[in-house]
Amino acid sequence: MPILEVEHLCKTFERTEVLKDISFSLEQGQVVSIIGSSGSGKTTLLRCLNFLERPDSGVIRVNGEVLLDAGNPSPEQEAQIRRKRLHFGLVFQSFNLFPQYTALENVMLAKELLAKEQPDYKARKNEIHEEIRVLAEELLRQMGLENRMGNYPHQLSGGQCQRVAIARALALKPDILCFDEPTSALDPELTGEVLRVIKELADQQTTMIIVTHEMAFARDVAHHVIFMDDGYILEQGTPEQVFGNTKEERTRQFLSRFNQGQ
């Protein structure tokens, strides 16, 4: 059974249709790359998966459980949505780290707030805090930031910030980790360190959805590639199929523009 199934997702802003009948699925431990020009709906798709936008219609299932059936009009409680969100993690293009917290605190904060909801929180307070700290330090070490844990975001480079953001998302152990153009806000010389970290996560069988403009990276890291154009999924398949054996003319044009650029 796929870990994620998206069926017939549609989303309209004002009068603009941004997502048109989006369907795809994702297997546990696999990586899907979503490519396409700006405004094609990639970011909106990620935002729908993370419940930052509500689709107009369509179904989202995780591990077979229906997380969202947009056709079902029953209003959802904030608390329920909050639970559902935790299936997903999201790494933003602009990091969105909390500036008033250190790298370590950024990674620990959400986990600590969630821990307060545990029934045994009061009794095991110090113990739980310690566990979370150990986990956060481990994640930051994994991101190559063992010397930066006490630094505030403004003291870090863009690449370091983005790696903190990845550690922050991983701390909640999401089923699926989403990246929204994680290197687009970075200087070219800093993209490498972030892509390397994501590649490592892929090697560890982390289930991920990556929206990116780094074509070589998308091809290299993904098991499955989706090309979006004007709100549709125009073409999808293995990297070999999409990059090597392109069927659609639009995809070919898009890819050739990128190849020229490089």
**Binding site residues, another protein, CB under 8 A:** 50-52, 78-79, 82-83, 85-86, 88-90, 92, 94, 96-100, 109-110, 113-114, 152-154, 168-169, 172
Residues in the chain: 262
- Beta bridge partners of residue 233, listed in sequence order: 228
Smallest gap from residue 185 Cβ to another protein (A): 11
Rounded to a whole number of angstroms, the minimum distance from the CB of residue 51 to another protein is: 8
Q: Which is nearer to another protein, 48 or 242 (CB)?
A: 48
Report the b/e string of 131-154 with b at 16+ CB within 10 A. ebbebbbebbebbebeebbebbbe
Is 114 or 255 the residue whose CB approaches another protein more closely?
114
Q: Considering only CA atoms, which of 89, 31, 23 is closest in space to residue 225?
A: 31
Task: Indicate the SS3 state at residue 207.
Answer: coil
How, if at all, do strands 88-91 and 176-180 pair?
A: parallel
**Is the Cβ of residue 102 or residue 246 nearer to another protein in the bound state?**
102
Q: What is the rounded CA–CA span in Å between residue 53 and residue 189?
A: 33
Query: Closer CB to another protein, residue 13 or residue 98?
Result: 98
Report DSSP state, residue 74.
Answer: P
Is the CB of 101 or the CB of 258 nearer to another protein?
A: 101
CB of 56 to another protein, least distance (A): 20
